[in-house]
């Protein structure tokens, strides 16, 4: 299953998967299972998509067969599963341009100058490129006490931590940091939370102080943040709390980037697909959170099935004589 580069430096592959999150990694495995060569392209420098970038230590509960699996462990398992078929990875490459060659095959060029000619493309880009919503106060302390993600909770051991936000990520990180930090304070601008009620109760039970109807108005420190000023949104009263780390979990802004200029049919910044996970463009399929269709449910577990559906249908486009369903993996020799 070697992948070839021609005299012009163009990489030839059967399937190009754009996005190295869970759906993309499972798609890489499944394409290999079908005997197809695979190249995976992702703008992030590491595999795993949002899981690796945002919550590698977070327990995930919607993966079939696991009561709970840590994000990092899920990614490691998916990478190992795909590796049995030797996919090629182009990390740190944003898929920039899509064209078609004289034979009607998709040719994708990255922002780093890599060119891939594929027989089919599967887009598994999650929410697209994501950037955190900035904390209005204290941006000058970014990297010096202000963080937007918590890839390694041990970095914050024995620190006073302030988490800002009221969604699932804010409460997940508060729960993750509570056992290792000296103290954790969660600050939210209202008394209503977007997080699941069970997550809120878990954080309360861990002894985290939850401050509502307040916002962080500024960060104070010299070389790095040392205190956070918390201001009540109604009374305007302020108080200082120790803050060696401030984690701003205010959500993120998603952007499809260059994909939105490829001519794909979009609905609310999602790629419209049919039951085959095919888009409106020839030989281009999509799977995972980036897709939209009636009844769509955005779960990692759903993305796995969509990736398999996309790859199986791509296989029949690549080879019209190929069977749509290749049989069960238990029937194959590995």
Question: What's the confidence (pLDDT) of residue 8?
Answer: 61
Same domain? 267 vs 294: yes
Question: What's the confidence (pLDDT) of residue 32?
Answer: 97
Question: What's the confidence (pLDDT) of residue 216?
Answer: 97
Nearest alpha-carbon partner for 57 in 73, 79, 77: 73
pTM of the model: 0.77
Question: What's the confidence (pLDDT) of residue 87?
Answer: 97
What are the strands, taking DSSP E only, across 129-287?
129-132, 146-147, 160-164, 183-187, 209-211, 214-221, 225-232, 238-242, 245-248, 252-255, 266-267, 270-272, 284-286
Question: What's the confidence (pLDDT) of residue 2?
Answer: 45
Nearest alpha-carbon partner for 244 in 229, 255, 228, 261: 228
Question: Is 42 flagged in the annotation as binding?
Answer: yes
Note whether 29 and 78 are within 8 A (CB): yes
Quote the longest CA-to-CA distance of the chain.
Answer: 72
Question: What's the confidence (pLDDT) of residue 59?
Answer: 83
Q: Which of 250, 268, 293 represents a domain boundary (last residue)?
A: 250
Question: What's the confidence (pLDDT) of residue 169?
Answer: 85
Same domain? 11 vs 63: yes
Weakly modelled stretches of the chain, pLDDT under 50: 1-2
Same domain? 63 vs 176: no
Note whether 180 and 244 are within 8 A (CB): no
Distance of alpha carbon 64 from alpha carbon 96, whole angstroms: 34
Question: Is 80 flagged in the annotation as binding?
Answer: no
Buried b (16+ CB within 10 A) or exposed e, 34-53: bebbbbbbbbbeebbbbbbb
Question: Is 55 flagged in the annotation as binding?
Answer: yes
Question: What's the confidence (pLDDT) of residue 1?
Answer: 44
Question: What's the confidence (pLDDT) of residue 69?
Answer: 94
Residue 275 makes CB contacts below 8 A (sequence gap 6+) with 293
Residue range 89-141, pLDDT digits in tens: 999 999 999 999 999 999 999 999 999 999 999 999 877 666 788 999 889 99
Question: Is 148 flagged in the annotation as binding?
Answer: no
Containing domain of residue 102, as a range?
4-130+253-331
Question: What's the confidence (pLDDT) of residue 84?
Answer: 94
Question: Is 330 flagged in the annotation as binding?
Answer: yes
Structural domain total, the chain: 2
Q: Which long-range contacts (CB under 8 A, 24 or more apart) does 291-295 make?
A: 292/267, 292/268
Question: Is 62 flagged in the annotation as binding?
Answer: no
Question: Is 130 flagged in the annotation as binding?
Answer: yes
Residue range 224-257, pLDDT digits in tens: 999 999 999 999 999 999 999 999 999 877 778 8
Q: Report the CATH number that the domain containing residue 320 is assigned in CATH.
A: 3.50.50.60
């Amino acid at each position: 299953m070697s992948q070839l580069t021609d005299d012009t430096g163009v990489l030839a592959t059967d399937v190009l998967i754009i996005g190295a999150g869970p759906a993309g990694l499972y798609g890489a495995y499944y394409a290999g299972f079908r005997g197809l060569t695979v190249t995976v392209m992702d703008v992030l420098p590491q595999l795993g998509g949002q899981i690796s970038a945002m919550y590698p230590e977070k327990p995930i509960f919607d993966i079939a067969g696991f009561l709970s699996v840590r994000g990092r462990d899920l990614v490691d398992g998916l990478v190992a599963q795909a590796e049995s078929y030797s996919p090629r990875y182009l990390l740190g490459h944003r898929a920039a341009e899509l064209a078609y060659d004289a034979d009607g095959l998709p040719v994708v060029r990255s922002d780093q100058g890599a060119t891939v000619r594929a027989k089919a493309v599967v887009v598994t880009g999650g929410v697209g490129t994501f950037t955190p919503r900035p904390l209005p106060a204290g941006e000058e302390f970014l990297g010096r006490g202000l963080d937007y993600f918590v890839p390694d909770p041990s970095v914050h051991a024995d620190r006073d931590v302030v988490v800002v936000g009221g969604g699932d990520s804010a409460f997940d990180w508060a729960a993750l940091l509570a056992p290792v930090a000296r103290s954790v304070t969660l600050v939210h601008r209202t008394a209503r939370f977007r997080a699941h009620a069970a997550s809120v109760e878990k954080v309360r039970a861990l002894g985290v102080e939850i401050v509502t109807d307040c916002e962080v108005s500024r960060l104070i420190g010299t070389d790095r943040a040392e205190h956070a000023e918390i201001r009540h949104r109604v009374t305007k009263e302020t108080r200082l709390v120790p803050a060696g780390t401030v984690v701003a979990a205010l959500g993120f802004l998603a952007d499809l980037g260059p994909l939105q200029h490829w001519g794909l049919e979009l609905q609310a910044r999602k790629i419209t697909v049919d039951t085959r996970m095919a888009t409106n463009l020839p030989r281009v399929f999509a799977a995972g959170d980036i897709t939209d269709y009636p009844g769509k449910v955005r779960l990692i577990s759903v993305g796995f099935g969509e990736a398999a559906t996309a790859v199986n249908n791509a296989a029949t486009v690549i080879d019209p004589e190929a069977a749509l369903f290749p049989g069960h993996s238990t029937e194959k020799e590995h």
